[in-house]
């Protein structure tokens, strides 16, 4: 009986090429800009009750704190783990949308000018950044699929 040696999956040429492409995509100025702006946006969202002066609304303050931290965690690793983080951009977009509606949804009378203005602006920016991250990922996948079709990769 002949024994066959199979190389570990990590050494598969297609997987190695995919990782190299993700590394190249993560080092683009666009990806770095999106990551930096997302971190600033998430940090502001977490601290916005104290910055904008509506920290007396405990439910909204805690909601913004949790949403801001979650947003930073979802999009903050875009540069270092692009192949996983870009798929989390949709969850970050949901956080951005939640931020927009939170002043009217959370318990208590928290829908005041400061909280609404801060949450709407921050939520729109957070959503746009998340969509930009998702768009960058889909552009990257579309280019890879087109190059595979042109080169005959994956055709039997």
How far is Cα 116 from Cα 99, in angstroms, rounded to an integer?
Answer: 9
**Whole-prediction pTM:** 0.72
- Decide: 87 and 136 in contact? Cβ < 8 Å: no
Of the candidates 90, 75, 86, the residue with the CA atom closest to the CA atom of residue 45: 75
In this prediction, residue 9 carries a pLDDT of: 66
Element at 28 (helix H, strand E): none
Of the candidates 60, 39, 37, the residue with the CA atom closest to the CA atom of residue 48: 60
In this prediction, residue 89 carries a pLDDT of: 86
In this prediction, residue 146 carries a pLDDT of: 47
How far is Cα 96 from Cα 102, in angstroms, rounded to an integer?
Answer: 10
- Decide: 119 and 59 in contact? Cβ < 8 Å: no
Of the candidates 75, 51, 56, the residue with the CA atom closest to the CA atom of residue 126: 75
- Decide: 86 and 74 in contact? Cβ < 8 Å: no
In this prediction, residue 76 carries a pLDDT of: 78
How far is Cα 75 from Cα 91, in angstroms, rounded to an integer?
Answer: 9
106 Rama sector, left if φ>0, alpha if ψ -120 to 50, beta otherwise:
beta
Give the HSE-up count for residue 80: Cα atoms under 13 Å, Cβ half-sphere. Answer: 6
Tens digit of each residue's pLDDT, the chain (156 residues): 555 666 666 666 666 665 655 555 556 788 888 889 999 999 999 999 999 999 899 999 999 999 999 999 988 765 555 555 567 888 999 999 999 999 999 988 888 999 999 999 999 999 999 999 888 766 555 444 444 444 554 444
In this prediction, residue 154 carries a pLDDT of: 47
């Amino acid at each position: 009986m002949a024994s066959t040696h199979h190389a570990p999956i990590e050494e598969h040429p297609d997987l190695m090429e995919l990782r190299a492409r993700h590394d190249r995509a993560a080092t683009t100025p666009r990806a770095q800009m999106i990551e930096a702006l997302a971190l600033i946006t998430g940090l502001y969202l977490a601290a916005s009750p104290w910055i904008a002066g509506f920290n007396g609304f405990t439910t909204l303050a805690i909601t913004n704190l949790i949403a801001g931290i979650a947003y930073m965690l979802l999009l903050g690793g875009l540069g270092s783990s692009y192949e996983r983080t870009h798929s989390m951009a949709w969850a970050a977009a949901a956080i951005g949308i939640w931020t927009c509606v939170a002043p009217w949804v959370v318990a208590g009378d928290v829908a005041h000018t400061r909280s609404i203005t801060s949450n709407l602006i921050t939520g729109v920016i957070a959503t746009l950044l998340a969509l930009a991250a998702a768009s960058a990922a889909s552009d990257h996948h579309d280019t890879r699929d087109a190059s595979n079709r042109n080169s005959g990769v994956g055709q039997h």
